[in-house]
Amino acid sequence: MPNYTPLPRAELNRLIQGATILEEDGFGPKVYRLPSGDILKLFRRKRLLSSALWRPHAIRFWRNAEGLKRLGIPTLQPDTLYQLDDPAWTAVRYQPLPGETLSQRLRRDPGAWNALLPDLAAFIRHLHASGVYFRSLHPGNIVLTPQGEFGLIDIADMQVRRRALGALLRRRNREHFEKYLRKEGLPFDSAALWALCEQA
């Protein structure tokens, strides 16, 4: 784990000059695509007293990337860990995972769902067997790489556990996945996917 690099406001402004805002909320931009192609993701500690005080989201993000790499699961490549002027804010600069999200693929080619099911189920089984509990496991955070592999992005909200996931956490992963399908209006019945996921 690297040390924090201070990122004063003036340097932050220089870093994001010419960048594209990819995501924002009521506090402002959260994710930038820098002119270099790297991504800068900002994290805000929402409460004064929270687990993020001793385990900042930026560090979780970095460690989760390292954990996925050890498991052979494609993901983004962290580059620099930043501490902003405000101690409630941290950031990570990283190289994105090449490819398109499963959501993008399905919107472009809805007929791909059935063809992707066996490999997608095998990928989710591998996550579960490897102890990966990802509360944002959904088509917007699953990437299909140019090599035809599945990988994960937006990984701050994730845990890599020491043993395979039990039935409760597998069911929660399924609930998050299906909630995303409903929210985004993706007309895919995931019952066949999860039936395959439960196969030995």
The contacts of residue 119 (CB under 8 Å, 6+ apart) are: 148, 150
d(CA 98, CA 75): 9
Question: Rg of the chain over CA atoms, in angstroms?
Answer: 18
Instruction: Report pLDDT for 56.
Output: 82
CA contacts within 13 A on the Cβ side of 135: 4
pTM: 0.89
d(CA 6, CA 17): 18
- Would you say 137 and 177 are in contact if contact means Cβ atoms under 8 Å apart? yes
Q: Which CATH fold topology does 5-95 show?
A: Phosphorylase Kinase; domain 1 (3.30.200)
- Would you say 146 and 185 are in contact if contact means Cβ atoms under 8 Å apart? no
**Six-digit token string for 159:** 């845990």
Ranges of each domain in the chain: 5-95, 100-197
Q: Give the mean pLDDT of the chain.
A: 91
d(CA 134, CA 14): 34
What's the CATH superfamily of 100-197?
Answer: Transferase(Phosphotransferase) domain 1 (1.10.510.10)
Tens-place pLDDT, residues 97-143: 999 999 999 999 999 999 999 999 999 999 999 999 998 899 999 99
